[in-house]
Structure 1
Amino acid sequence: MREAVLPRLPDALPEGAALARVLARFEALAVAVSGGVDSLTLATFAHRHGVPLTVIHAVSPAVPAEATARVRALAAAEGWDLVVTGTGEFDDPRYRDNPVDRCYFCKTNLYDRIAGLTARPIASGANLDDLGDYRPGLTAAAERRVVHPMIEAGMTKADVRALARALGLPDIAELPAQPCLASRVETGIAIDAADLAFVETAERRLAALLGGGTLRCRITREGVVVELDEALMGEAPGVAALMTELCAGEARSFAGTRAYRRGAMFVRS
């Protein structure tokens, strides 16, 4: 066991001290980094506190290009040993069929690929808030003995954001929740790379139009639906005009706007 190194931060946050103690158990780690606040914060904190790391980022049609760019930029700034790899989930028909436990097959492919690249223990950026959701990916992680240092340290999403700010990563700290693009596809509709590319383009255009806030472009049986948080609902007419144009360009049907609901595409019988 390495000696615990407490955070060298302007404010030694309790959650940072707890995380340092958890990380002290490991001689080295392979951190799976998606490009979101959780995994980026974990990798930054662990690296700055002397944990030998391999940082692994997986690319696929389900990962937004801006997430990959964010990972590459932070890796260069922090001096990480970064490995970018494909996961191969699109070669798995169980994933492409998009059952309600699709994330299990995604994470199975991801963690198996990482295990083939390094013998180091695999760490995820999951936090306590993730335990309150339906997360079949956590089952795949448990089967492969993936560790969750932030959960062990008792950290919530708010704690992770506070730690990111203390690390001097304000832009990372304020990143909105951004699950993979496949989460925009209603359960039972096959995962298709062209659909995910459309979703990515639509959300990028909508973000530019609206200037912020939570939004999702959904692929449903009724057609393309845009979900907006309450603060953005007044912009629905402009959203509808843009989406009608984008859908017409790809012979898709725009089915309107509605209020944002987390996990809306998981349809369980």
Structure 2
Amino acid sequence: MDRINKSKFNVNALKSQLQLNNSLIIATSGGVDSMTLAYFAHKEVSTDVTMFHATSSAVPLEATVRVQSYAKKYSWSLVCHDVGEFSDEDYRKNPIDRCFYCKKNLYGFIANKFPDHIICSGTNLDDLNDFRPGLVAAQEKKVIHPFVEAGLYKADVRGLAVYLGLNDLAVLPSAPCLSSRIETGIRIKPSELSMVEEVESMLRSNFNPTTARCRIRLNGVVIELDKATIAKLDSKKKKSILDKVMIVLERHNWNSALSIETYKMGSAFNDNTKFSN
């Protein structure tokens, strides 16, 4: 079955899952999964649907702008709010299950504000095979995962986005929250997340890598770029990247070792478990 036909099949399965509930809140981060779910729910399901987008230092500005742009373009009912994870010391300590505390604050806030609504996430079947502490928080608040129930994997979600004409979403790279750039055990500081966001934005604008991460580790700052981009770097280009990154770091009064490495999923975690960041 080709991608489009498979997406048509998934449309029916997904619609059936969403129509089981009358009032829905879609937790919308700005990534391909939750954005595609939000668009689909608003367009295809005749029920009360509200999008909720959490704003904080850990959420890239471009993600918030994307959500707000879609909401305006397609007349979504949208609520944007800081859910308070930075007031949670368990989150700020940045333990290995930091995502649990993030989602606990997110889903707890939504559940309190919309007690009569069912919370939906953009979780897909691939996510169930990853280390996702946030899924525990979701279970505690009875969050539903329509993509999972409809049998959609990540590739299916991207295919669905294409089917729906959302080509800009279909090609979005994975973009975990900015806190995922901080090595576990290092306290999360909003000022450092702002620096990370500025560095990554500069890298994308100036060097157009497929993947760019600015990691803060105990031994300094590491710039991670995808393998193809790394392969094209000669000493001159590498120096240019490091020089431009250093300008940003100095603007944030940051002075530490700086290096470039090949992107590795989960490298901000200081153990041997695999993570999506």
TM-score range, shorter chain: over 0.9
Let me know the Cα RMSD of the aligned residues. 1.6
1:104 is the counterpart of 2:106: no
Cross-structure match for 2:224: 227
1:241 is the counterpart of 2:243: yes
Deviations 1:136-192 (A, max 9, x none): 000100111100000111111111111111111111111100000000000000000
In the alignment, is the contact (CA less than 8 A) between 1:224 and 1:252 conserved in 2?
Answer: no
1:155 is the counterpart of 2:152: yes
Instruction: Give the aligned residue type for 1:33.
Output: T
- Where does 1:79-158 land on structure 2 (aligned, <5 Å)? 79-118=75-114, 119-158=116-155
In the alignment, is the contact (CA less than 8 A) between 1:244 and 1:254 conserved in 2?
Answer: no
2:195 corresponds to which of 175, 191, 198: 198
SS of the residue 2:223 aligns to: strand
- Where does 1:20-31 land on structure 2 (aligned, <5 Å)? 20-31=15-26
Taking the aligned partners of 2:204 and 2:239, their CA distance within structure 1 comes to 15
Instruction: Give the aligned residue type for 1:231.
Output: A
2:263 corresponds to which of 251, 255, 260: 260
In the alignment, is the contact (CA less than 8 A) between 2:198 and 2:248 conserved in 1?
Answer: no
Instruction: Give the aligned residue type for 1:255.
Output: L
Deviations 1:204-259 (A, max 9, x none): 00001112411100010111101111111023333222122222332322420111
Tell me by how many angstroms 1:268 deviates: 3.4
In the alignment, is the contact (CA less than 8 A) between 2:122 and 2:145 conserved in 1?
Answer: yes
TM-score with structure 1 setting the length = 0.93
Unaligned runs of 5+ in 2: 273-277
The number of residue pairs the alignment matches comes to 261
In the alignment, is the contact (CA less than 8 A) between 1:243 and 1:254 conserved in 2?
Answer: no
In the alignment, is the contact (CA less than 8 A) between 2:7 and 2:159 conserved in 1?
Answer: no
1:33 corresponds to which of 22, 28, 33: 28
SS of the residue 2:144 aligns to: coil
Cross-structure match for 1:61: 57
1:181 is the counterpart of 2:183: no
SS of the residue 2:169 aligns to: helix
TM-score with structure 2 setting the length = 0.90
In the alignment, is the contact (CA less than 8 A) between 1:228 and 1:257 conserved in 2?
Answer: yes
SS of the residue 1:13 aligns to: helix
Instruction: Give the aligned residue type for 1:203.
Output: E
Tell me by how many angstroms 1:12 deviates: 5.9
Taking the aligned partners of 2:203 and 2:127, their CA distance within structure 1 comes to 27
Cross-structure match for 1:3: none
Taking the aligned partners of 2:75 and 2:125, their CA distance within structure 1 comes to 28
Taking the aligned partners of 2:26 and 2:49, their CA distance within structure 1 comes to 7
Cross-structure match for 2:67: 71
In the alignment, is the contact (CA less than 8 A) between 2:242 and 2:258 conserved in 1?
Answer: no
